[in-house]
Each structure stands twice: as C-alpha cells, then as structure tokens.
C-alpha cells in the first residue's frame, strides 16, 4: 500500500511524457466544460477577493497620503491636495486617545470620499462650531474602532487651523439612516460619530451606530491652545 502513491506518480509522469500536448485533447467535451467552469469560478473568486482587499488597501494607503497633505495644511499650505485629482480636501484629524487610533477627516461625505477616510457631512457645522458636527466613516475600515469607544472616552480633533479640540464621548445609540434624530443646529458644541451597524454584518443595511460627544472646554485650556482661537463667540444663533 505504502509504495502505491509513488507508483502512481511514476505512472502518471510516464503518461504525461507521452501525451502532454494532448492533455486537453484527451478530455471529452463534458470534461472540458466542467474544467472550464471550475476555472471560471476560481477566477471570479480570485477577482472578488482581490477587489475586497483592494478596497481595504486603498482605505489604508490613502490615509497615509491624506496624513501627509494634512501635515502640509497644518504648516500653512492651504492648497495641499492629497493627490492631484482628489475631489475633496482634508479638514481635520480625529484621535481616540484611549484606543490610540487616528484618522484624517475629509470634507463632504458625498460620492467616493468615504472610501478614503472619515468625512464630515457637508450640511453640519465644523467640529467645535455651534451645533452638532457629524463625522461618518466605514465600519470595516476607518471607524472599525468606533465600537470600542466607551462613554467618557476623550476624542481629540485637530482642525486644519491647528486648533486642538477635546470632546468627551457620551451615549451611543442605533438609528435608521433617515431617522438619525441628529439636529445640526442643536444648542451646544457637539460631535456625532456615525458608522454602519451591525458591525460584523457583510451586507449594507439601513441602520447606523451613532456616538454622541460634547466639547470639553477645560481640556482645551489645559492643553494651552486656547490662544489659538477657539471660537467661543457668545450666542451666535443660526
């Protein structure tokens, strides 16, 4: 028994030498079809896997470029674009202190911006302004860590003018995308982070996970960046 596989291999090799060129010819039509089908399925599988990983790689790699252009922006280069044909600009950097994650936030969550980074919704105020600023990102890339944000966690936002703002995470909840209950003009300086829910689902669904956060004024003072001009103009109504 034990030497049989070896035997077999030997035999096969011999046969292959005989008719390598005729490998396909030796298949009957049914077999050819089956083989082609299998190959096609394998190819489709490979392409899908490749596409999936490409999307993830794009999300990771673009953050590197975005970080670079955001650094340039902090240095005062207002026209810095992450790459020449980008259809958005960088706007802020968000850091979850306890978790140790950072991402560059883009302006305008329309079209393809979300594929490259978290984006602030264009119809909400900038973080730190009066009202509720909403930043959304994909649950499977940039906001994978959002589920780990706990009540009381500090979130630091660095705006492109260099201001550092600290927000404290509050409650989190789950809502439909069109019934978010977020009012962009709500009193106070708030931040809402949104991503898709459930976190481990593989299909796109209508539910969103929202983390509310509130600006912590003291923390800013403690950091000593108050002088950089946190807009605390009183009672500017909309």
Partner 1 sequence: MLLNTENTAKPPSRMTGRQIEYLIVAMLVAVTLALLFVMGFFSHAMAETNGSKPQRFAGYVRPNDMGTGALLFPSKEPGSFVEAPRLATDVVIDVNGPIIRTRVTQRFQNPSKGWVEGTYVFPLPENSAVDTLRMQIGDRFIEGEIKAREEARKVYEEAKAEGKKTALLEQQRPNIFTNQVANIGPGETIVVQIEYQGSVHQSGGEFSLRFPMVVAPRYNPDPIVQTVDLDPKSGYAVNDPVPDRDKITPPVLDPAGNAKINPVTLTVNLNAGFPLGNVTSPFHQTDTQTIDAMARTISLKSGSVPADKDFELNWSAIAGKTPNAGLFREVQNGKTYLLGFVTPPSGAAVVDTPAKREVVFVIDNSGSMAGPSIEQARDSLALAISKLQPQDKFNVVRFDDTMEVHFPSLVEATPDKREEAIAFVRGLTADGGTEMLPALEAALRTQGPVEPGALRQVVFLTDGAIGNEAQLFEEISKNRGDARVFTVGIGSAPNTHFMTKAAEIGRGTFTLIGSENQVAARMGELFAKLENPVMTDIAVSFDGANAQDITPNPMPDLYRGEPVVLTAQLDGATPAGKLQITGKSGNQPWRIEMDVAKASEGKGIAKLWARRKIDDLEASAYAVNDAAALDKQIETVALANHLVSRVTSLVAVDVTPSRPANEPVASTDMPLNLPEGWDFKKVFGEKPQPTLPDGQRKASLEQSEQQAMLVADRMAAAPTARAASMIADAGKQVDLPQTATLADRHILIGLMLLAFALMAATTFSLWRWQLRGLVSEARDRVR
Per CB under 8 A, which of residues 104..133 are in contact with partner 1?
Answer: 108-115, 121-124, 132
Whole-number Å distance between alpha carbons of 97 and 115: 24
Is 170 one of the binding residues for partner 1 (CB under 8 A)?
no
138-164 as b/e: b if 16+ CB within 10 A = bbbbbbebbbebeeebbbbbbbbeebb
Query: Among 19, 181, 229, 231, which residue sits at the site for partner 1 (rule: CB under 8 A)?
Result: 181
3-state secondary structure 41-87: HHHHHHHHHHHHHHHHHHHHHHHHHHHHHHHHHHCCCCCCCCCCCCC
Question: Segment near partner 1 (CB under 8 A), from 27-35, 93-101, 153-161, 212-220?
Answer: 27-35
For residue 58, the minimal CB distance to partner 1 (Å) is: 9
Assigned token pair, 157 = 């936002």
C-alpha count within 13 angstroms, C-beta hemisphere, residue 36: 8
Q: Please count the residues of this chain forming the interface with partner 1, following the rule CB under 8 A.
A: 78
Contact positions with partner 1 (CB under 8 A) in 188-227: 194-196, 201-206, 208, 210
For residue 229, the minimal CB distance to partner 1 (Å) is: 21
Is 10 one of the binding residues for partner 1 (CB under 8 A)?
no
Q: How far apart are the first and last CA of the chain?
A: 86
Q: Are strands 207-215 and 131-136 parallel, antiparallel or unpaired?
A: unpaired
Query: Among 63, 69, 90, 141, which residue sits at the site for partner 1 (rule: CB under 8 A)?
Result: 141
Query: Among 56, 174, 221, 232, which residue sits at the site for partner 1 (rule: CB under 8 A)?
Result: 56
Is 13 one of the binding residues for partner 1 (CB under 8 A)?
no
Is 32 one of the binding residues for partner 1 (CB under 8 A)?
no
Is 8 one of the binding residues for partner 1 (CB under 8 A)?
yes
């Amino acid at each position: 028994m034990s030497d049989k596989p070896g035997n077999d291999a030997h035999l096969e090799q011999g046969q292959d030498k005989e008719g390598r060129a005729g490998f396909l010819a030796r298949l009957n039509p049914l077999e050819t079809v089956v083989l082609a089908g299998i190959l096609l399925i394998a190819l489709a599988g490979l392409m899908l896997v490749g596409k999936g990983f490409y999307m993830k790689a794009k999300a990771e790699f673009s953050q590197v470029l975005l970080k670079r252009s955001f650094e340039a922006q902090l240095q005062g280069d207002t026209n810095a674009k992450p790459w020449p044909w980008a259809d958005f600009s960088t706007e802020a950097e968000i850091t979850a202190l306890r978790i140790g994650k950072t991402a560059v936030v883009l302006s305008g969550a329309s079209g393809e911006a979300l594929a490259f980074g978290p984006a602030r919704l264009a119809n909400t105020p900038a973080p730190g302004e009066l009202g509720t600023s909403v930043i959304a990102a994909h649950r499977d890339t940039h906001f994978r860590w959002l589920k780990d944000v706990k009540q009381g966690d500090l979130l630091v936002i660095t705006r492109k003018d260099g201001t550092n703002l600290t927000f404290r995470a509050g409650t989190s909840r789950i809502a439909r995308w069109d019934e978010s209950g977020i009012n962009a003009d709500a009193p106070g300086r708030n931040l809402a982070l949104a991503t898709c829910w459930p976190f481990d689902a593989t299909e796109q669904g209508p539910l969103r996970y929202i983390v509310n956060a509130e600006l912590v004024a003291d923390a800013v003072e403690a950091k000593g960046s108050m002088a950089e001009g946190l807009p605390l103009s009183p009672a500017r109504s909309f």
